[in-house]
Amino acid sequence: MLIADLSVREQILETANRLFYEQGYNLTGINQIIEEAGVAKASLYYHFPSKEDLCVEYLKKRYKNWSTLLQRFLANVEDPKERIIKSFECRSKYLVDTHFGGCSYTRIIAEMPQRSVKINDQVIANKEKQRMFFIEQIKKMKGTRTVAVSDLANAIFLLFDGATMQCQVYRDLHPMKNALKAVKMLL
Amino acid sequence: MLIADLSVREQILETANRLFYEQGYNLTGINQIIEEAGVAKASLYYHFPSKEDLCVEYLKKRYKNWSTLLQRFLANVEDPKERIIKSFECRSKYLVDTHFGGCSYTRIIAEMPQRSVKINDQVIANKEKQRMFFIEQIKKMKGTRTVAVSDLANAIFLLFDGATMQCQVYRDLHPMKNALKAVKMLL
DNA sequence: AAAAACTCAGACAAACTTGTCTACCTGACT
DNA sequence: AGTCAGGTAGACAAGTTTGTCTGAGTTTTT
């Protein structure tokens, strides 16, 4: 589990990333994190003022990892429509790789009805970045659009997000396939 | 908080329903439930073998309540297309009434990565019933369909479910409005 | 009348929770 | 030589968690 050559801070964050996502935020204790990260408790609280702050960094990391994966998938793909389709395929791979863990942002929200401002803002920021990806692609698309750019992008984003969640629930890729079919209907 | 004339079992379930949804399943303790329900701990464990079993009953109750609300919304609405649109409006009302609590089934899944079989089965059953509603409406729709019934119904279900989740995240109805726009594009 | 179902209050076990604090150590920079 | 960033181990506080159990009392059914 321990990854060599990682600073203590990175070791903590990497371990928290794994445990928060695999077990859930509320079910993961600070003690388990420091134990599995192989660091002292004071070290955790030296780098992260609280579990809540660690959660915010976790959310940032999740977005960074997703973004990296997506960029790899989209390298050499120019056509906007093709980029949208590829992003759904990227999501499918992500879901399989994570054993259908679903969207980490959504899950954090679901776990914390009494959302803190910090966590709320980070989740919204991450979601908005995902939404903007679709906005950008639709904007780039040629052809006279009969519907507004944002309406189409938002619809695709809803399908993307909805399918991610349903894949988690059903532990199967079929919702993502259905979402892709719907996207093709809309485009 | 206490509702008169309810049996002890119903009092417990009603309180659990409120607390699980408002605070989350993991953050709601048995002790809080019995305290707010005004019953003894032994009474809870007499009616529900475990917190997990209580959760299953909670999920059943949530579906029953949603189903009742939906039926009230759809009374006197015959046209399948209109019934679909009304179901989205019903969801909007539901979300506002629950202060954007989102979908209880989804949230339970999000909170419990190590899903028990009982809970998993109940969530799937509830979700499938919701999906079947859309299947039924599409089936009833006249006109030569260029796409398969299930593909269209699944797309609408994805939008419905995705919008419910996004409304929870954004604490706003705009995703549901976007979903409805998308549905109208598809129909 | 007897039995069964239901309800109460609360102690108890054995664990876990976040965060603080003491006390110490190492290495780098000024 | 001195300061400070970064690290160790672990005790501690004050609370929480689910579930069991004792022991009693009431209500309903047979």
Q: What is the pLDDT of residue A3?
A: 53
Fold topology of A51-186 = Tetracycline Repressor; domain 2 (1.10.357)
Nucleotide nearest to A26 (CA to C1'): C17
B23 touches strand D (CB under 7 A): no
Q: Label residue A178 by pLDDT band (50, 70, 90).
A: very high
How far, in Å, CA of A15 to CA of A37, rounded?
6
Nearest Cα to A108, choosing from A61, A68, A75, A76? A61
Q: What per-residue confidence (pLDDT) applies to A1?
A: 46
Residues of A 8-27 whose CB lies less than 7 Å from any atom of strand D: 8-9
- Hey, is the C-beta of A3 within 8 angstroms of any chain B C-beta? no
User: Residue B61 CB: number of other CB atoms within 10 A?
Assistant: 17
Domain B1-48, architecture per CATH: Orthogonal Bundle (1.10)
Task: Report the first-to-last Cα separation within chain A, whole angstroms.
Answer: 44
- Gap from A40 CA to C27 C1', Å: 18
CB contact under 8 A, A165 and B166: no
The domain B52-186 having CATH identifier 3.40.50.10480: the answer here is no
A31 CB less than 7 Å from any atom of strand C: yes
Residues 6+ apart with CB under 8 A from A171: A100
**Per-residue confidence (pLDDT) for residue A146, from 0 to 100:** 67
Task: Report chain C positions within 7 A of protein CB atoms.
Answer: 6-11, 16-23
Tell me which of B125 and A143 has the higher pLDDT.
B125
Q: What is the pLDDT of residue B6?
A: 79
Residues 67-126 of B with CB under 8 A from A: 101-102, 105-107, 109-114, 123-124
**Protein residue at shortest CA distance from C1' of D19:** B50
B8 touches chain A (CB under 8 A): no
Question: Which nucleotide, over all strands, has the C1' atom closest to the CA of A40?
Answer: D8
Nearest to A98 by CA among A183, A179, A28, A164: A164
Instruction: Place A170 in a pLDDT band, splitting at 50, 70 and 90.
Output: very high
- Mark the ranges of chain B whose per-residue pLDDT is less than 50: 1-2
Domain boundaries, chain A: 1-48, 51-186
Residue range A149-176: mean pLDDT, rounded: 97
Whether A106 sits inside 8 A of B23 (CB atoms) is: no
Rounded CA–C1' distance between B26 and D27, in angstroms: 35
Q: How high is the mean pLDDT of chain A?
A: 94
Residue-wise DSSP of B7-75: -HHHHHHHHHHHHHHHH-STT--HHHHHHHHT--HHHHHHH-SSHHHHHHHHHHHHHHHHHHHHHHHHT
Chain B's closest residue to A176, CA to CA, is B158
How much of chain A exceeds pLDDT 90, in percent? Answer: 91
* pLDDT tens, position by position, A69-99: 999 999 999 999 999 999 999 999 999 999 9
Q: What is the CA radius of gyration of chain B?
A: 18
Band (A144; pLDDT cuts 50, 70, 90): low
Q: Verify if strand C has an atom below 7 Å from the CB of A35.
A: no
Contact B18, B7 (CB under 8 A): no
Q: State the pLDDT at residue A147.
A: 75
Q: Would you say the C-beta of A46 is within 7 Å of strand D?
A: yes
